[in-house]
Amino acid sequence: MDDNGVDSPMAVDRSEQEGRWAHVEKLLNRNGPFAHPDFEPGPDIFQFVREVTKILVIGAGGLGCELLKDLALSGFQNIDVIDMDTIDLSNLNRQFLFRSKDIGKPKALVAAEFINNRIEGCQVTPHFCKIQDKDDDFYRGFHIIVCGLDSVMARRWINGMLV
């Protein structure tokens, strides 16, 4: 149910907030077989991952929508999304963050608004522009960059920028 008592498939059940990230805490509070030798598990790591880590999702299409949802529901609070495209009717069958009322609007803006309105504590910042419009300093400001691009040329450009 949503805040108005209406049964909604998109509503977030606030009663499950406690312990929501117990599986992530369990992972970060122990040393694993592939952990770096200098890794020191503990609650500080979990807090850093949730509250400080900045993530950039490149692309807000079919893959980008899924990435945004998964990252936000995993507990990350600082997410940016960059996309230069607008929503088209043909997007609606596979890009679940968009509705018919969103046709013609920028994907990054609508996706950010959708997540921000539904996942408490998560702040998605949209960038409606080409990836080439941003400089090195922009990309250096992120701890994690996830590529959800469908263009081979754009993938090559971003790989060249980041590597």
Q: Which residue has the higher pLDDT, 30 or 130?
A: 130
Q: Which two tokens stand for residue 17?
A: 């907030």
Q: What is the pLDDT of residue 10?
A: 54
Q: Which two tokens stand for residue 158?
A: 């971003």
Query: Considering the entire predicted model, what is its pTM?
Result: 0.81
pLDDT, tens digit, 9 for 90 and up, residues 97-118: 999 999 999 999 999 999 999 9
pLDDT, tens digit, 9 for 90 and up, residues 135-153: 999 999 999 999 999 899 9
Distance between CA atoms of residues 59 and 158, nearest Å: 12
pLDDT, tens digit, 9 for 90 and up, residues 43-80: 888 888 888 999 999 999 999 999 999 999 988 999 99
Q: Which domains does the chain have, with CATH numbers?
A: 49-162 (3.40.50.720)
Residue with tokens 């970060």: 28
Distance between CA atoms of residues 124 and 135, nearest Å: 20
Q: What is the pLDDT of residue 25?
A: 77
